[in-house]
Amino acid sequence: AMLRASAKNYKWTATVVNPNKYDEVIAILKENECTIPIEKRAELAGEVYAATAYYDSLIANYFENYNKQESKQINLSLKKEYDLRYGENPHQKATLYGNFSKIFHKIHGKELSFNNIIDINASAQLISEFTEPACTIVKHTNPCGVGIGENLSAAYNKAFATDTVSPFGGIISFNRVVDLETAQTVHSIFTEVIIAPEFTDEALELLTKKKDRRLIVCDFKNIAKYNQTDARSVVGGLLTQSANLKLVDESTLKVVTNRNPTPYEYRALMFAWRVCKHVKSNAIVYTKDDATLGIGAGQMSRVDSSRIAVEKAKMMGLDLTGSVVASDAFFPFADGLLQAVEAGATAIIQPGGSVRDEEVIKAANENNIAMIFTGMRHFRH
């Protein structure tokens, strides 16, 4: 819709592309003898050029995709959704652009913060890795617990057992409809956000009793549609890459040790690998086949990440005997593997690719460890 507001004798004109401004412009014309002050004309002109630029960018992107051309420039077509109270910290300004609200619909609670949105994005991508009834608990974009079970309550209890301290103020995600039983299970803990594809009326009646808790309905079926490109701002520009949507490549997945993983170990290894993909590097994840046991994230040394994962498991009273380990990148030395052996792990999954792979494989064989090389790395910065 467009309105052309004309001044007397067509001396000045202004094009209005925002229907919400129609009444305002009409009032200005009436109050100013059919003239529009230059400040208002400049404001309206800016909105016109923004609208045409948006339209042109959609056309340019369509033809580039149609002809599969290599892009020589980025044509961003993101409309403003809303301003946030502040950014990552109170002294920073923040605004949300794009289609976030098409995927994540807040049905209860106070407005989302910048940090809420970042964590919601991380949590939803992690829970999307699972088809079984699953629960993920995320804090500062890292999972502090992941569990799968016969129902959501069982999955939550397994996820929560990994770390009973960090979930406070965290983000809980479910990949099934949250019913009253699940709501009763999580209601007592303070959480910033609960995400699910749907909530029953009974669950909502209970969960909405806490006014500050945000409840988000997520359109999980369409996450992949809006998650094709990963973009990061850098000083002076924008860094883009295709989204990390793959988990493994069957052509490069292979057992490299004398002993093959048992069926149980293989299930546990693939569970651990799904979680590890979403942990900040350096990432080390100890798991069973249905729950995380210890997570080490974001350390400069892989050995330090492993040490933290083991220590956190011990703090929670979790036994790592018979556990498996996932590492998002290769072990550069055998010490990381030996640390896992000492903790009680029996199987390891890692990308491989180190110049010392043979040394690491030898150490695994000497300790009767089954090890899988994925040939695919999952760094997350």
The predicted-structure confidence for 242-252, as pLDDT tens digits, reads as follows 899 999 999 99
Note the pLDDT tens digit of each residue in 305-336: 999 999 999 999 999 999 999 999 999 999 99
Among all residues, which ones are annotated catalytic?
Answer: 8, 140
- Using CA atoms, how far apart are residues 358 and 323, in angstroms rounded to an integer? 23
3-class DSSP assignment, residue 75? coil
The stretch 111-136 carries a mean pLDDT of 96
Note the pLDDT tens digit of each residue in 276-311: 999 999 999 999 999 999 999 999 999 999 999 999
Position 4: which residue type?
A: R
The stretch 79-85 carries a mean pLDDT of 92
- Using CA atoms, how far apart are residues 284 and 296, in angstroms rounded to an integer? 5
Q: Give the pTM.
A: 0.86
**How sure is the predictor about 70, in pLDDT bands with cuts at 50, 70 and 90?**
low
Tokens of 191: 């959480």
- Using CA atoms, how far apart are residues 146 and 273, in angstroms rounded to an integer? 12
Exposure class string for 304-317: b at 16+ Cβ within 10 A, else e: ebbbbbbebbeebe
Give yes or no for a contact between 213 and 108, defined as CB atoms under 8 angstroms apart. yes
DSSP secondary-structure letter at 280? P
Using alpha carbons, list the distances in angstroms from residue 337 to 41, 139, 303, 343, 363: 68, 27, 9, 10, 8
